[in-house]
Structure 1
Amino acid sequence: MHDTTHGKSLLGEFLSTRRAQLKPADVGLPDYGDRRRVPGLRREELAQLAGVSVAYYTRLEQGLSLNASPQVLDALATALRLDDAERHHLHTLSGDARQSRLRLPSERVTEAVRQLVDAFGDAPVVVVGRRSDVLMWNRPGHALFAGHLPLDSPSRAATRPNTARLLFLDAHTRDLYVDWPRKARDVVGKLRQAVGEYPGDPRLAALIGELTMRSPEFATLWAEHKVREWGMNEYRMRHPTVGELDVLQHSLPVPRGRGVRLVVTTAAAGSAAEAALRLLNHSLRPAREHTADHRDGAVSPRS
């Protein structure tokens, strides 16, 4: 029952927050300049746009109506001007994926995942779990994102880095991104998606609570209820060793590894960024003389 109650409270928060972010003019409704008690659309206005009764919509926001039909959810998503990622998130929060969320999948780095990481050679690779914990990285991935941390830190739960925690609370990681606010929005949006998919994960809830308390910037972004999908994103990084470089970060789901993803960083062929990544790899060559132990949380790239 806890999952259902929690999920429905998340649904209500999402609906009410996104409703508050819309103005009548945004959805083609007249605004007579009257002073509103709350920002954004009124419940009756959103209900009218979605073609549902005010009473029914109110029950949805209050968590009193369960199992809204996909058609109603789609109508609400359209009325709220949600994008594809947010529309999917709305369906997830409503309980459509309830059966898949009853048990939390285990997060572990299998031999198949290690082989997959090895196959990327010199490309920086970081393996992350559903909570954005770093489960593993290869040497280029470690050097690009967190060279100031011990190479073997992902191998122990007590020292395992978390990419969201690093971005908001670690000065080195914050300086890595020229447009830090955009990266921050992307990271928070992905955590929003994770909370919708795994509402019963206590460690995920603890991470959100910690970041909300320790970072006012995180708390502000979290309150917006914006959702981001994993995929491909372009960033300009500012690395302390090789300088600025424009890269693509590709997020690839691991087969049979629910919630586990490979984040692979690439640069355009012939670009200054590609040269910078080669320079970074060249700086690792002395370390490559020692074969990395797979059990230490890192994989030595093949030459």
Structure 2
Amino acid sequence: MTVPELRNYRRDAIVGLLRHRRAHVDPDPASPAFDPVSDRRVAGMRREEVAWAAGISLDYYVKLEQGRMLNPSPSVLRSIMDALQLSDLDRRYLGLLFEDAEPHVVRTTAGDRDRARATLDEVAAHFPAATMRHLLDRDLGITLPDAASRRVLFPGVAEPPGEVSLVEYMFSARYRRYSHRVYVDWRDKAAEVIGLVHMKLATRVASDALTATVQRLLDDPAFRRLWTRYVPYENASGSWRVRLVDSGGSAGDGKGAGTVRDLSFLTVTAPDDPEQSLVIYR
């Protein structure tokens, strides 16, 4: 598989999303474009069926799905979204990808960021019994403010880091042995992290550093397979099954004893800096 170049992100994401969602929608047997006799060599809907359901020509839809047209009218785009039965988040994501104008990005000062951090620290203090707390910045960098939280993500490590890139933690050779151990449903968590990055790129707030990290990881076929599904993510709450390793256990070699707990999480965003948030696991 060709390694995507992030400088072509908008075009590649539009193509990838349309193809992926089309393959996961069952065709409508009542559609005049549906042919129950011929050999269906593709999963889900055929291009002809999407075009008919959206009320556009096949040639027009093919150009869109091949990334040769990036300016459909709002009504046409809504019709395609309806035909593909896209979720609300998929609709927002696809709309951002087709948007020519630069999205409005809140510009923050150092003072804004300091006030946001102070606010989030104050909120965190109201959850002393939390299993884990971490601050998340615009580049998905994690700051672990206490020793207990660091031990959760880095079990068995004598001096765990207080800061780490969430993307690196999940996928890099240096850290993924820990994330595989800690997150029981690692693949789902990995898809969430990739979905967060997709939204950063679609809203064009991803920094050069985050973009460079992703470009490097795209050389890994496993990362690339998840990436090219183009599934965005933006949940502020939910739950994950997390393995908590007993004190003194060594998860680094996969042999440490541990207890699996279903931890709910809540994300709090600072009003002074919307790109900075606190995630609390309980």
TM-score bin (small chain): 0.7 to 0.9
Q: Deviations over 1:137-190 (max 9, x none)?
A: 320433332363856643xxxxxx111221234212211122222222222222
After TM superposition, the structure 1 = structure 2 runs for residues 215-254 of structure 1, keeping only pairs within 5 Å, are 216-241=221-246, 243-254=259-270
Shift of 1:5: 6.2
Q: Which residue pairs with 1:13 in the alignment?
A: 16
CA gap 1:98/1:19 in 2 versus in 1, 3 angstroms: farther
Of 117, 130, 137, 2:138 maps to 130
Moved over 6 A (4+): 26-29, 103-108
**Structure 1 runs not aligned, ≥5 long:** 155-160, 267-303
Cα gap change, 1:64/1:217 in structure 2, threshold over 3 Å: closer, same or farther?
closer
CA distance in 2, matches of 1:184, 1:145: 15
> Could you list the runs of 5+ residues in structure 2 that have no partner in the other structure?
1-5, 247-257
- Work out which of the residue numbers 200, 206, 215 in structure 2 matches 1:209: 215
Amino acid aligned to 1:47 = A
Residue 150 of structure 2 is aligned to residue 142 of structure 1: yes
Query: Which residue matches 2:171?
Result: 168
1:263 and 2:279 aligned: yes
| Distance (whole Å) between structure 1 residues aligned to residue 30 and residue 267 of structure 2 | 34
The one of 67, 74, 77 equivalent to 2:81 is 77
- Does the aligned pair in 1 maintain the 2:103–2:203 contact within 8 Å? no
- Amino acid corresponding to residue 254 of structure 1 in structure 2: A
**Which has the larger share of helix?**
1
C-alpha distance in structure 1 between counterparts of 2:181 and 2:216, whole Å: 21
1:6-25 deviation digits (Å, cap 9, x = unpaired): 42443233223322343425
Determine the C-alpha separation between the residues in 1 that align with 2:184 and 2:151.
18
Tell me how far 1:113 sits from its aligned partner. Answer: 1.5
* Cα drift, residue 194 of structure 1: 2.1
Which residue, out of 179, 198, 202, partners 1:196? Answer: 202
1:45-194 aligned at under 5 Å gives the runs 45-95=49-99, 98-100=102-104, 109-121=113-125, 122=128, 123=130, 124-134=132-142, 136-139=143-146, 140-146=148-154, 148=157, 150=159, 153-154=162-163, 161-169=164-172, 170-194=176-200
For the aligned residues, what is the CA RMSD? 3.3
Partners of 1:31 and 1:60 in 2: CA distance:
23
TM-score (norm 2): 0.75
Identity %: 26
Name the stretch that deviates more: 89-98 or 74-83.
Answer: 89-98
